[in-house]
């Protein structure tokens, strides 16, 4: 107590307010991984503080920018507007301005603004490269716990009908002729070669689902759980290998504070794969050069003798996206977002009954395939959405099995930056991507289809259309080869940072490998599994 008071005095001299409450768990970041782990800690009877730098995106979490025709819903909630999310006012408010790629700085993280595609991981996503204790069989219980609360849906309309199926009709005919198989991607997650499916979306009760709706309300009911919004964490406060608290900026009051852990407390980082590395650098954990930069950016990093040399940021991965746009001459078009927003859209009446196209996400079909180069298999996902009258935009990702990675670092303004791009860094990745696109181009341009490529009209142009998949991982990789001793791993298989006693990471940063599909379901499965490991450890 004397010590705490002494600390309080010295901190207040520095203009930093020290608070009295202490917590068993401080979870940093209210994205999917943070909400899920914090909820499970609270359920286990722990005193938990969840710190989120952004605002709440739903009416229940404080948003007031509701739709004119339904004052319990924001635009973010409505599945039918998810395709237009980048044009909403909320986008500018919610997107992080200080990271190397696209990430959301709002409660719910990426799951608040994403396109809702919800891909159950196939077994080999875990079995190929995750360490022992994290194979598909090991995380089965975690996936069951997730799906019990947040199952995703392939049929979100309450009347059991599928709407706006023009695109599906044309493309299922196309793939059918190629000999590909129709599957239910939720019921058969291991079918990932030459298959197509109706899309699975993160939708429940006709609104965008995700942990803000499926975990947080129950956690908030618990006395020992608190959520603080607009609380941006700068760094963890260390006494050597122990974390004693976190330094935050209260963005409403523009005030710096220290929030303390209880004597046996733990800090769990869940700021996302592009932000957690900054928290580690700022806390004296990572390559020396990055910690030096953190110091230059004005952060009170620990003294040099306390730095822990770990390969944070090294090996960052993402799915590259290639754009394949095709005029199919089919009959379909994107929804009319302006009329949905202003309330004049004729589908709104049906939505009031829980049905119709506004209950669906933007895609109309998802396909998967794989190929092999030098005996090594790589997977591909194609997400197909209407882009114009009869025109489909295929977002084609190279996914599980790709061998490229990059390096994430920090600049002197405190932004995370790519020091080396994660995309197409190996010759085999380039060969494999080229093979896949060549085959797609050949099939699409076969005269029997009547299809026509648009914008990118040959393989090299499609390869050149590369954009970020926004499924970043592996910036604080989990594994048994301790990074302090020339290994590649930053956290152990309990998700604890090597060299620290009570610091954990649970977000996309720790994934040692990329999954076969869009990553959010995998992020949530891993968070469920991590919460159980941390509580048991
Ligand atoms: C535009 C977009 C589209 C996407 N589309 C899809 C899709 O259709 N399907 C799919 O499966 N995946 C998609 N993704 C990816 C998916 O949403 C992310 O992989 C997932 O949200 C990552 O979860 P996370 O918990 O690791 O981190 P995040 O979701 O990034 O959450 C991190 C949280 O921490 C908070 N935070 C960060 N720094 C601090 C700090 N210093 N202090 C306090 N809080 C902090 C952030 O505000 C955020 O709430 C998309 C992502 C984006 C951005
Ligand atoms: C913290 O505790 C001290 C003494 O225990 C008390 O004087 C002070 O008001 C408390 N501060 C806050 C912010 O609760
Ligand atoms: C709340 O947390 C405190 C501190 O860990 C614990 O002693 C208490 O039992 C918890 N209460 C509940 C209702 O879980
Ligand atoms: C809506 O919320 C914003 C930000 O949270 C706030 O500035 C604004 O005053 C609120 N508007 C109303 C009408 O409550
Ligand atoms: C608004 O939408 C929600 C979710 O679909 C629904 O439960 C509610 O009844 C709607 N309210 C109105 C006034 O239509
Ligand atoms: C926040 O406080 C700092 C000083 O602590 C000051 O330099 C800065 O201008 C303030 N920002 C705002 C938005 O008030
Ligand atoms: C698609 O093709 C049809 C005829 O094949 C043509 O009339 C139409 O203009 C094309 N659409 C676009 C957007 O190019
Ligand atoms: C909505 O449901 C009501 C009651 O079942 C029905 O009368 C009405 O026609 C439905 N609206 C639409 C647009 O289907
Ligand atoms: C591919 O398309 C691009 C852009 O349309 C064009 O510049 C290039 O010459 C084409 N390459 C081949 C091999 O046809
Ligand atoms: C790391 O590897 C280098 C060269 O292989 C070796 O010189 C060094 O001693 C190793 N360091 C540790 C900590 O194992």
Q: How is residue 176 annotated by DSSP?
A: H
Structure tokens at 324: 């394949």
The residue whose CA has the least distance to atom 3 of ligand 4 is: 64
Burial 225-251 (b: 16+ CB within 10 A, else e): bbbebbbbbbbbbbeeeebbbbbbbee
Sequence-ordered alpha helix ranges (H) in 270-420: 276-282, 288-296, 337-342, 347-352
Q: What is the mean pLDDT of residues 458-474?
A: 98
Structure tokens at 402: 């790709």
Distance from C-alpha of 528 to C-alpha of 533, rounded to nearest angstrom: 9
Q: Is the pLDDT of residue 19 over 70?
A: no
Distance from C-alpha of 189 to C-alpha of 494, rounded to nearest angstrom: 26
Res 329: pLDDT = 86
Q: Is the pLDDT of residue 370 over 90?
A: yes
Q: Is the pLDDT of residue 13 over 70?
A: no
CATH topology of domain 23-124+127-137+217-316+474-536: FAD/NAD(P)-binding domain (3.50.50)
pLDDT 10s digits, 482-507: 999 999 999 999 999 999 999 999 99
pLDDT 10s digits, 227-266: 999 999 999 999 999 999 999 999 999 999 999 999 999 9
3-state secondary structure of 427: helix
Ligand 4 atom nearest 65 alpha carbon: 1
User: What is the share, in percent, of the chain residues with pLDDT greater than 70?
Assistant: 96
Burial 138-166 (b: 16+ CB within 10 A, else e): bbeebbebbbebbbbbbbbbeeeeebbeb
Ligand 3 centroid – CA 47 distance (Å)? 6
Element (H, E) at 393: strand 391-398
Q: Which residues lie closer than 8 Å to 490 by C-beta, 6 or more apart?
A: 280, 310, 311, 312, 476, 477, 478, 483, 497, 498, 505, 509, 510
Ligand 3 centroid – CA 48 distance (Å)? 10
Task: Annotate 428-445 with DSSP letters as a single string.
Answer: HHHHHHHHHHHHHHHHHH
The domain segmentation of the chain, as residue ranges, is: 23-124+127-137+217-316+474-536, 154-208+317-403+419-467
Distance from C-alpha of 46 to C-alpha of 39, rounded to nearest angstrom: 10
Does ligand 5 lie within 6 Å of residue 70's CB atom? yes
C-alpha distance from residue 471 to each of 39, 148, 418 (Å) = 23, 24, 15
Indicate the average pLDDT of the chain: 96
Res 18: pLDDT = 59
Q: Is the pLDDT of residue 443 over 50?
A: yes
Per CATH, 23-124+127-137+217-316+474-536 and 154-208+317-403+419-467 having the same topology is answered no
Q: Is the pLDDT of residue 211 over 80?
A: yes
Q: Is the pLDDT of residue 10 over 50?
A: no
Q: Which residues lie closer than 8 Å to 352 by C-beta, 6 or more apart?
A: none
Q: Is the pLDDT of residue 374 over 80?
A: yes
Pocket of ligand 7 (CB under 6 A): 327, 329, 388, 390-391
Q: Which residues lie closer than 8 Å to 453 by C-beta, 6 or more apart?
A: 324, 325, 326, 327, 441, 444, 445
The residue whose CA has the least distance to atom 9 of ligand 2 is: 20
Distance from C-alpha of 173 to C-alpha of 373, rounded to nearest angstrom: 29
Give the strand pairing for 66-67 and 70-74: antiparallel
Q: Is the pLDDT of residue 120 over 90?
A: yes
Rounded to two decimals, what is the model's pTM? 0.95
3-state secondary structure of 83: helix
Ligand nearest to the CA of 343: 5
The residue whose CA has the least distance to atom 2 of ligand 4 is: 64
CATH second-level architecture of 154-208+317-403+419-467?
A: 2-Layer Sandwich (3.30)
Binding site, annotated residues: 106, 114-117, 233, 508
Does ligand 8 lie within 6 Å of residue 331's CB atom? no
Ligand 8 atom nearest 353 alpha carbon: 1
Res 520: pLDDT = 98
Q: What is the mean pLDDT of residues 68-85?
A: 96
Confidence band of 17 (pLDDT split at 50, 70, 90): low
Number of other CB atoms surrounding residue 342 within 10 Å: 12
């Amino acid at each position: 107590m004397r010590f705490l008071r002494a600390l309080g005095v010295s901190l207040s001299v520095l203009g930093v307010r020290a608070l009295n409450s202490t917590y068993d768990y401080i979870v940093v970041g209210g994205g999917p991984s943070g909400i899920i782990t914090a909820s499970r800690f609270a359920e286990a009877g722990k005193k938990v503080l969840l710190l989120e730098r952004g605002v709440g995106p739903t009416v229940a979490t404080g948003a007031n920018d509701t739709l004119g025709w339904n004052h319990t819903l924001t635009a973010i909630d409505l599945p039918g507007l998810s395709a237009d999310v980048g044009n909403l006012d909320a986008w500018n408010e919610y997107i992080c301005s200080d990271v190397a790629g696209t990430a959301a700085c709002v409660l719910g993280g990426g799951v608040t603004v994403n396109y809702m595609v919800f891909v159950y991981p196939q077994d080999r996503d875990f079995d190929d490269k995750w360490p022992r204790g994290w194979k598909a069989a090991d995380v089965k219980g975690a996936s069951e716990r997730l799906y019990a609360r947040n199952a995703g849906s392939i049929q979100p309309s309450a009347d059991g009908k599928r709407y706006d199926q023009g695109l599906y009709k044309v493309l299922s005919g196309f793939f059918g002729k190629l000999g590909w198989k129709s599957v239910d991607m939720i019921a058969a997650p291991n079918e990932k070669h030459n298959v197509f499916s109706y899309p699975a979306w993160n939708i429940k009760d006709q609104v965008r689902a995700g942990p803000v709706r499926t975990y947080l309300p129950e956690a908030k009911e618990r006395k020992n759980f608190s959520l603080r919004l607009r609380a941006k964490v700068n760094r963890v406060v260390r006494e050597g290998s122990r974390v004693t608290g976190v330094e935050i900026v209260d963005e409403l009051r523009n005030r710096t504070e220290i929030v303390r852990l209880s004597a046996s407390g733990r800090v769990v980082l869940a700021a996302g794969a592009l932000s957690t590395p900054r928290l580690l650098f700022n806390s004296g954990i990572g390559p020396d050069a990055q910690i030096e930069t953190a110091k230059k950016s004005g952060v009170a990093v620990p003294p040099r003798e306390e730095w822990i040399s770990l390969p944070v940021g090294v090996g960052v991965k993402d799915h590259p996206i290639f754009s394949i746009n095709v005029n199919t001459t089919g009959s379909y078009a994107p929804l009319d977002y302006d009329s949905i927003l202003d309330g004049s859209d004729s589908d709104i009446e049906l939505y009031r009954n829980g049905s119709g196209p506004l209950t669906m996400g933007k895609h109309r079909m998802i396909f998967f395939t794989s190929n092999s180069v030098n005996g090594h298999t790589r997977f591909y996902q194609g997400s197909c959405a209407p882009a114009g009258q009869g025109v489909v935009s295929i977002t084609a990702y190279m996914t599980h099995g790709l061998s490229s990675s990059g390096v994430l670092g920090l600049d002197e303004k405190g932004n995370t930056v790519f020091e080396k791009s994660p995309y197409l860094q190996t010759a085999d990745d380039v060969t494999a991507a080229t093979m896949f696109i060549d085959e797609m181009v050949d099939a699409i341009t076969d005269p029997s289809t009547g299809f026509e490529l648009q914008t990118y009209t040959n393989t090299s142009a499609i390869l050149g259309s590369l954009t970020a998949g926004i499924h970043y991982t592996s910036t604080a990789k989990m594994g048994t080869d301790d990074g302090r001793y020339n290994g590649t791993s930053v956290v152990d298989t309990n998700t604890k940072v090597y060299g620290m006693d009570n610091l954990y990471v649970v977000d996309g940063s720790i994934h040692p490998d990329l999954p076969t599909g869009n990553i959010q379901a995998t992020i949530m499965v891993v968070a469920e599994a991590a919460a159980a490991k941390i509580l048991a450890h």
